[in-house]
Amino acid sequence: MITTPAPADNLLVLGKIVSVHGIRGEVKIYSFTDPIDNLLNYRRWTLKRGDEIRQAEMLRGRAQGNVLVAKLRGLDDREEARTFADFEICVPRHELPELGRDEYYWHQLVGLRVIDQQGRLLGKIDHLLETGANDVMAVKPCPGSLDDRERLLPYIDQCVLSVDLESGEMRVDWDADF
């Protein structure tokens, strides 16, 4: 286990170590990727917990129900593995696969100004939620917003008309009264 800090800027959190598995130092992980085992495509992780940063190398991993179980280099003891609970698993943004046209990672959408068809600013995307039917954008008011309402907009083609990352805007077909 390498403990020298790595630059924490430009990292994305893709999962979190939640507990131990077995007696040989494996850890259970909650993955934020879809599908969950996509996290296993990254062998080198930056682990962050508060101000503590460590580098880790995943030797092997597998899906087990709705979590992952992973073996990290140099982590061979259950009690030592227990000390890794609550570390976030991060990877550099540049290691993410390139997306196709009109595809975006959630982190790219957060912070975009949301503008309706009448040119009114509804707010900024604060975060996204995964639901059974479709993803949902939580749009919170910001300076210059139409009003002080938080809105939940579906991330579907009928609602999202365009995304312009360079200008920081998303155009939507959404009734401001909703």
Residues 142-155 have pLDDT tens digits of 999 999 999 999 99
| Pairwise CA distance, residues 103 & 43, whole Å | 25
| Pairwise CA distance, residues 118 & 149, whole Å | 17
Query: What does the pLDDT look like over 63-85, one tens digit per residue?
Result: 999 999 999 999 999 999 999 99
Q: What does DSSP assign to residue 133?
A: S
Mean pLDDT, rounded, for 26-48: 95
Name the segment(s) of the chain with CATH classification 2.30.30.240.
106-172
Name the segment(s) of the chain with CATH classification 2.40.30.60.
11-94
Looking at the DSSP bridge assignments, the partners of residue 20 are 27
**How is domain 11-94 classified at the architecture level of CATH?**
Beta Barrel (2.40)
| Pairwise CA distance, residues 127 & 111, whole Å | 8
CA angle centred on 51, ends 47 and 56, rounded to 5°? 20
State residue 134's pLDDT score: 92
Segment holding 122, helix H or strand E: strand 121-130
pLDDT higher than 50, residue 5: no
Global pTM?
0.77
Sheet bearing 113-115, strands edge to edge: 151-154, 135-140, 121-130, 113-115, 169-172, 160-164
Place of tokens 């976030």: 88
* Fold of the CATH domain 106-172: SH3 type barrels. (2.30.30)
